[in-house]
Amino acid sequence: MFTRLDSVNRIILSVGHGGLSGESYDPGATADSFTENTEAKQITVLLASKLTKNGLTVVLVPDYGLTKTIQYINARYDAHTDWAFEIHKDSIGKFVKASMAKRAGVYYHPTSLESQAIADKMAEVFKANGSNKTSWSRPDTASNHGRLAWIRQPKMLSHLLECGFMQDDLSTASDDFYATIIAQAICTCLGKTYQP
């Protein structure tokens, strides 16, 4: 489906925030006693299992903070055969309107047409499989930070995923929903038929 993905045979997954094994710990967004880092980890573990079931080689990187994680993947993995994702949940303040439920998003590199086309396809697959119709693909220049290290610094193709909001449903079923639509999107972009 995408020339850039023809050589990709391995998926690198990193949980957003964290840093238990290295830099000082960053919980990410919080809601009550829940942290974005912990919730993203649950989704990432489910996602890894679904991708493995679909015949993909998956690497779950250790729980380093962002800077060390990028150094780690650049030192060990490949610019052509790897595709890297960092998994997050968004924050929307005190409550989430029902109309915003199940909204997923993917950030891409603003100057790469392939990075954008792949992200656009992923958002399309999200919407076709039950995510909110406002699910999106955006350049990292549209993020709160103006640019995202995860998009700019890895040597391989990289995208950053937002799996709904910390103020929305945090159940295991919700984690499984996001893991499923992301696995579906990755398989579709790689030209594979997703197997549940």
Q: Please, are residues 85 and 12 in contact by the beta-carbon 8 Å criterion?
A: yes
Q: How many residues bind Zn ion (CB under 5 A)?
A: 3
Q: Toward Zn ion, which CB reaches closer, 15 or 48?
A: 15
Does 28 bind Zn ion (CB under 5 A)? Our answer is yes
Q: Toward Zn ion, which CB reaches closer, 8 or 122?
A: 122
Write the secondary structure of 119-180 as one string of H (helix), E (strand) and C (coil): HHHHHHHHHHCCCCCCCEEEEHHHCCCCCCHHHHCCCCEEEEEEEEECCCCCCHHHHHHHHH
Does 16 bind Zn ion (CB under 5 A)? Our answer is yes
Does 88 bind Zn ion (CB under 5 A)? Our answer is yes
Length of the chain counted residue by residue: 196
Listed ranges 7-15, 25-33, 50-58, 65-73: which one lies at the site for Zn ion (CB under 5 A): 25-33
Q: Toward Zn ion, which CB reaches closer, 88 or 127?
A: 88
Residue closest to Zn ion (Cβ): 88
Listed ranges 14-22, 113-121, 144-152, 183-191: which one lies at the site for Zn ion (CB under 5 A): 14-22
Site string for Zn ion, 41-80 (x = CB under 5 A): ----------------------------------------
The CA distance from 64 to 80, in Å, is 23
Q: Please, are residues 195 and 10 in contact by the beta-carbon 8 Å criterion?
A: no
Pairing mode, if any, of strands 82-90 and 157-165?
Answer: parallel
Q: Toward Zn ion, which CB reaches closer, 16 or 139?
A: 16
